[in-house]
Amino acid sequence: MSKLILPANYENPLSYLDSEIAIKIVKDQFEKRLADCLNLVRVSAPLYVSKKSGLNDDLNGIERPVSFEIKDLDEQVEIVHSLAKWKRAALNRYDLRGFEGLYTDMNAIRRDEELDNLHSVYVDQWDWEKVITRENRNLETLKATVLKIVKAIVQTQTILRYAYPQLKPMVSNNVFFITTQQLEDLYPDLTPKEREDAICRKHQTVFLMQIGDQLKSGQRHDGRAPDYDDWQLNGDLLVYYPLLDRSFELSSMGIRVDEKSLVSQCEKANASERLNYPFHKQILEGKLPLTIGGGIGQSRLCMLLLNKAHIGEVQVSMWSEEMRRECKENEINLL
């Protein structure tokens, strides 16, 4: 299968049972450290939202949500793609203010994912959101938050390796910050994905900023919905994963849109009709707090720290028979 990477001479570093124990260590330890370093409280979150609320995240704008009708409500609802918008509304409902925030377990179904080593139809994340002030809607706040999250990951990595010393460390505290335009200038002849691979091979742990707007070439590095991240104040946390010889995205995050960037980005995306949704009206009217937030892949983090070759080794999902056969032949044990 063209999208499946099969590492040569792959040896699974942990048994089935040890893998499950290690997954529990990662999830318990990282969740606690994330909450501590960002001053977050855990809350419950929805699996689905009303279609007419405008709260669902449309990711790159082409993914189809899984939807169904609730009989007693006579209303169409959608399985969430992420909780990017819901979290901001929740912060207002919980009346969290002054650099406080929330986090939650987000479970989603992304039916249009192209399945490979890193991508599954089932998505599990720690989704988090935190209140900031107008004065702190800046690059310094974004970078400082990234460094705190990376520190929590490295601490979790250290604890896991006490239990399983055979595991190799994959994340460094030294984060290299670069914008998508700087990356295009550096590697103009490469595709966006190839640029990510190249910069991660060079710097190991990278935060790639300013994703969503057009570059000087007229192309976008990657798609971003226009109505949650500010495209000038967002980014992806990437690391180089030698097992697959490629960049590995752990987190997408950013400072969220205010009233000006919301209008500007929706106009650029030809999505101005969204401004009529209740959530968007609250932003325009200044009724929602200014926030920073993101999602951190639970299975992605476990896969990386457990040195696994396939995300199906740390989560149960659906794969083609051909992929299952190829994985089994190459000692990749899908759950």
Catalytic pick from 82, 251, 252, 265? 252
Active site residue 236: yes
**Which residue from 273, 278, 228 is spatially nearest to 254, judged by alpha carbons?**
228
Q: What are phi and psi of 235, to 5 degrees?
A: 175, 175
Q: What is the pLDDT of residue 1?
A: 46
Q: What is the pLDDT of residue 88?
A: 82
Which of left, alpha, beta for 112 (phi over 0: left; psi -120 to 50: alpha)?
A: alpha
Cα distances from 279 to residues 16, 91, 151, in angstroms, run 44, 13, 33
Residue recorded with tokens 């969430």 = 80
Q: What is the pLDDT of residue 58?
A: 62
Length of the chain: 335
Sequential pLDDT tens for the chain (335 residues): 458 889 988 888 898 899 999 999 999 999 999 999 999 999 998 888 877 777 666 655 567 877 888 878 878 888 887 787 788 888 888 877 766 899 999 888 888 888 889 888 888 999 999 999 999 999 999 999 999 999 999 999 999 999 999 999 999 899 999 999 999 999 999 999 999 999 999 999 999 999 999 899 989 898 888 888 999 999 999 999 999 999 999 999 999 999 999 999 999 988 899 888 888 899 999 898 899 999 999 999 999 999 999 999 999 898 889 989 998 989 898 98
Q: What is the pLDDT of residue 57?
A: 65
Active site residue 172: no
Catalytic pick from 78, 129, 197, 236? 236
CA angle 72, 77, 81 (to 5 degrees): 155
What does CATH list as the number for 16-329?
3.30.930.10
Active site residue 125: yes
* 320/159 Cα distance (integer angstroms): 35
Within 10 angstroms of residue 139's Cβ, the number of other Cβ atoms is: 15
The sheet carrying 48-50 orders its strands as 48-50, 75-79, 67-70
Q: What is the pLDDT of residue 227?
A: 87
Q: Check: CB of residue 250 under 8 Å from CB of residue 242.
A: no
pTM above 0.95, yes or no: no
Active site residue 181: no
Q: What is the pLDDT of residue 203?
A: 95
* 57/323 Cα distance (integer angstroms): 29
Catalytic pick from 105, 116, 249, 326? 249
Within 10 angstroms of residue 62's Cβ, the number of other Cβ atoms is: 8
Catalytic pick from 110, 137, 224, 256? 110
